[in-house]
Amino acid sequence: MLDLLTRLQPHRPLDGDEDAYVERAEEGGNAIAAWVRAGRSSLLVLGPAGIGKSTELARAARDLQPDRFTCLIPLDRFENVRLVTPERALLRIAALLVQVAGQGLPGFSPSRDLSTAIHGPEPGVYSFPPPPVWDADTALRVACREVAGASKQGRVCLLVDGLEKAPESTFWNVADALGHIAPEVDLIVVIPWYVAYGQRTGEVLRPDEKLFAIHPVVVTGELGVPGRRFLQRLLGRHFAAAGGIAGLLETILDKPSPDPGVVELRGVFNRAIDMSGGIPRTYLQLIVDATMRAKFRSHDQPRTDDLDDAVADQRDSFRRLLSAGDEVALRDADGTDGRDLEWQQKIRLLNHGMLIESQEAGKPVLHIHPIIRDLLE
Amino acid sequence: MRDPSLNVVIALGEYQGGVAVAYYADPIRRDWLLGEIESHAPSADQPALRTSSVDEAIAYPDRLVFVVPRDEAATVEELDALRDRLLMPPRRLPVVLFLLRDGPGERALARCPGLASIVRGRDPDWDLLARADVDLERARFERETGLSPQAWLRKWKNGEFPETPELIVRSYRATALEGE
């Protein structure tokens, strides 16, 4: 088990399919899909690093497939999103859409004009009529029409991931370009926090857009039971993805057992949940790091002291990210809606997951991440 | 007590091949660290690739890569933007980014939450290795093993100990203590 737990990949999104995906109690890919089906043609998704945005996007794509031809576009895997121009972003989206359609729609092949607009003219080939000169906006528009026409669903949904890493000027330029995509194309875009809390007002993409935040799962108190269960199941799926027996970890964690080893292991996993603040990537990373320590110390399983050291390392990393004034701001914001925080500081603290936003009685409330709380104390 | 050798091994992410950060106090310390970290690295058939280019780091997923930036802030921002390409498909050996402590790269990392979350827990104080109280550490080593670091290393090199994870880490500690 030790070897397998060290092979978990906390940074890798899970696929949206049934075997890999773990459903959240709320704010998951199925909820994103439900909003789109309910008629919102633009959804802006946001959340702190490591929360599972890419996983939920993959799930939404899967859920929407019966009604729409869905195309997941991890823009950051193909472009440097800090430097990408709107033209290049749109052409990349068009190229990926055509590529995915070519693989998923039997017999689909783009028109010669579209292919030329995306890939450039075939050298040395004379054709008449000559290929039109299209800008990227037009190329994407035609790509969406051709794919929608060839698909049984008759409608295209683009799910764009990675733009949350773009600096503000780049993001707004690309967002303006995405806003020109025809309204009959559904658009789900992961956006940076500064869009939600920033100073620019007005629409981001389109007039009917909805902001969809994915928050850390609640892991404390009675309300935290589903969240803890979610993280345990997530660990089980990552364990299976690393080559472990599916369901094994869930069984160990679920079944009452007097075995002291099982009791300690359950205690370690539970404490890792407490210290994760409900952020999946943090939880998995703590398990991996604690297990690596256990392995090198010749422990037969991760123990409490292994986890304590893993937490201490994360605490050191957080300490480096704190700027002057952050400690006071964190204490002041704890338990409030954060309206008194300076907005850039608020965005930075939320982005890093140092402040965790949750919904309490329908209102946003900020709390200090448990590892940061540890640090401040 | 956290063992600095173990922290280094974990930061290198032997099983994940991810990204780690090595903070250094000055260029002399950086040059020392380059050699020190390479000696702690997971077994590799080739020496570490030393580069200032993120693209080059991405192009060699099977090699240990040391990224020593010319422009720290720009490199951190580029790594943040390209991090998915860096991690997927999973690397066999990690990328170690060298940044000046309290320098422009560290400040840039505070503006790049995605990359910061990936290196979290993988940016230990590497200088602890150099700053450890050598006499105290040597005494601790002798207490634990009954041998001096030199004597223990001789036996290790002669193959008198099995290559268990615990003993591999102990060999790192012995090497660091012997070199002081």
* pLDDT for residue A8 is more than 70: yes
Given a cut of 80, is residue B164 above it in pLDDT? no
Q: Find the mean pLDDT for residues B69-96.
A: 88
What is the structure's pLDDT at A246? 79
The answer to whether A81 and A93 have CB atoms below 8 angstroms apart is no
Average pLDDT, chain A: 89
Q: Hey, are the CB atoms on B16 and A9 less than 8 Å from each other?
A: yes
Count of Cβ atoms closer than 10 Å to residue A67 Cβ: 15
Partners of B6 on chain A (C-beta within 8 Å) are: 293, 296-297
Note whether B126 and B143 are same-domain residues: no
Amino acid at A61: A
B17 HSE (CA, 13 A, CB side): 19
Q: Are residues B174 and B124 in the same domain?
A: no
pLDDT at A96 over 60: yes
Tokens linked to B174: 């012995």
- Interface pTM (ipTM) of the complex? 0.80
Mean pLDDT of chain B: 83
Across the interface, whether the CB atoms of A49 and B81 are under 8 A apart is answered no
Which among A165, A286, A320 is the nearest to B114, CB-wise? A165
Calculate the alpha carbon distances from A319 to A312, A352, B25 in Å: 10, 12, 17
More reliable by pLDDT, A91 or A248: A91
Helix A280-296 to helix A260-276 angle, to the nearest 10 degrees?
140
The answer to whether A187 and A45 are in contact (CB under 8 A) is no
- Examine the domain organization and report whether B101 and B152 are in the same domain: no
Q: What is the pLDDT of residue B130?
A: 61
CA B152, B157, B159, B161 torsion: positive or negative? positive
Q: What burial letters (b/e) apply to A71-110, b meaning 16+ CB within 10 Å?
A: bbbbbbebbbbbebebebbbbbbbbbbbebbeeeeeebeb
Q: How far is B176 from chain A (nearest CA, A)?
A: 17
Of B115, B130, B145, which residue constitutes the final position of a domain? B130
Question: Cα-flanking dihedrals φ and ψ of residue B45, to 5°?
Answer: -80, -15
Q: What are phi and psi of A355, to 5 degrees?
A: -105, 135
CATH code of the domain covering residue B10: 3.40.50
**Claim to verify: residue B168 and residue B83 sit in the same structural domain:** no
- Which CATH architecture describes the domain A29-213? 3-Layer(aba) Sandwich (3.40)
Cα angle A331, A337, A338; round to 5:
55
* A26-80 tens-digit pLDDT: 778 999 999 999 988 899 999 988 899 999 999 999 999 999 999 999 998 898 8
Domain parsing of chain A, residue ranges: 2-11+218-320, 29-213, 322-376
Q: Are strands A363-368 and A355-360 parallel, antiparallel or unpaired?
A: antiparallel
From the number of C-beta atoms within 10 Å of its C-beta (0-12, 13-18, 19+), residue A251 rates as exposed
Same domain, B11 and B57: yes
List pLDDT tens digits, range B150-159: 899 899 888 8
d(CA A96, CA A215): 29
What are A141-178's pLDDT values in tens digits?
999 999 999 999 999 999 999 998 888 889 999 999 99
Calculate the CA A305 to chain-centre distance: 31
Q: What is the DSSP letter of B23?
A: E
Same domain membership, residue B121 and residue B140 = no
In the block, residue with structure tokens 């090497």 = B175
- Report the C-alpha gap between A309 and B15 in whole angstroms: 18
Pairing between strand A42-46 and A210-213?
parallel
Report the C-alpha gap between A12 and A172 in whole angstroms.
27
Which positions 16-75 of B are in contact with A (Cβ < 8 Å)? 16, 18
Q: How far is A242 from chain B (nearest CA, A)?
A: 11
- B120–A contact, CB cutoff 8 A: yes
The CA distance from B108 to B35, in Å, is: 26
* A74 contacts B84? CB cut-off 8 A: yes
Mean pLDDT of A237-250: 84
How far apart are the C-alpha atoms of B128 and A312, rounded to whole Å? 15
What's the mean pLDDT in B60-75?
Answer: 93
H or E, element range at B21: strand B19-24
pTM above 0.80, yes or no: yes
Mean pLDDT calculated for residue range A313-339 = 92
Beta-carbon count within 10 A of A25 CB: 13
- Closest approach of A109 to chain B, Cα-based (Å): 28
Q: Do A312 and B15 touch (CB under 8 A)?
A: no
> Within a 13 Å sphere around the CA of A65, how many CA atoms are in the beta-carbon half?
13
Tally the domains of chain B. 2
Residue A360 pLDDT > 90: no
The pLDDT value given to residue B13: 66
The per-residue pLDDT for A257 is 80
CB atoms within 10 A of CB A31: 18
Q: Which positions in chain A touch B116 (Cβ < 8 Å)?
A: 49, 317, 321, 352
A349, A326 contact by CB (below 8 A) = yes
Please compute the mean of the pLDDT values over residues B14-40 and round it to a whole number. 80
Per-residue pLDDT tens over the stretch A202-230: 788 888 888 898 999 999 888 889 999 99
Q: Considering only CB atoms, which chain B residues are within 8 Å of A309?
A: 2
Look at A187-196, A318-327, B11-20 and tell me which has the smallest mean pLDDT: B11-20
pLDDT score recorded for residue B133: 67
Same domain, residue pair B109 and B146: no
| Better-predicted residue by pLDDT, A315 or B141 | A315
Q: Which of B19, B117, B145, B167 is the best mutation test for A, with the most CBs of A within 10 A?
A: B117
In which domain, by residue range, is B11 found? 4-130
What confidence score (pLDDT) does residue A255 get? 76
From A221's Cα to the closest Cα of chain B, the distance in A is 26
pLDDT of residue B15 exceeding 60, the answer is no
Residue B146 has pLDDT above 80, yes or no: yes
Given this model, what pLDDT does residue A324 score?
87
Quote the minimal CA–CA distance from B169 to chain A in Å. Answer: 7
Q: Which two tokens stand for residue A330?
A: 């964190």
pLDDT tens readout for residues B123-143: 877 776 666 667 777 887 888
User: Would the pLDDT of A122 be above 80?
Assistant: no
Q: A270-289 pLDDT, tens per residue?
A: 999 999 999 999 999 999 99
DSSP letter for each residue of B30-70? HHHHHHHHHHHSPP-SSPPEEES-HHHHHH-TTS-EEE--S
For residues B21 and B93, membership in a common domain is answered with yes
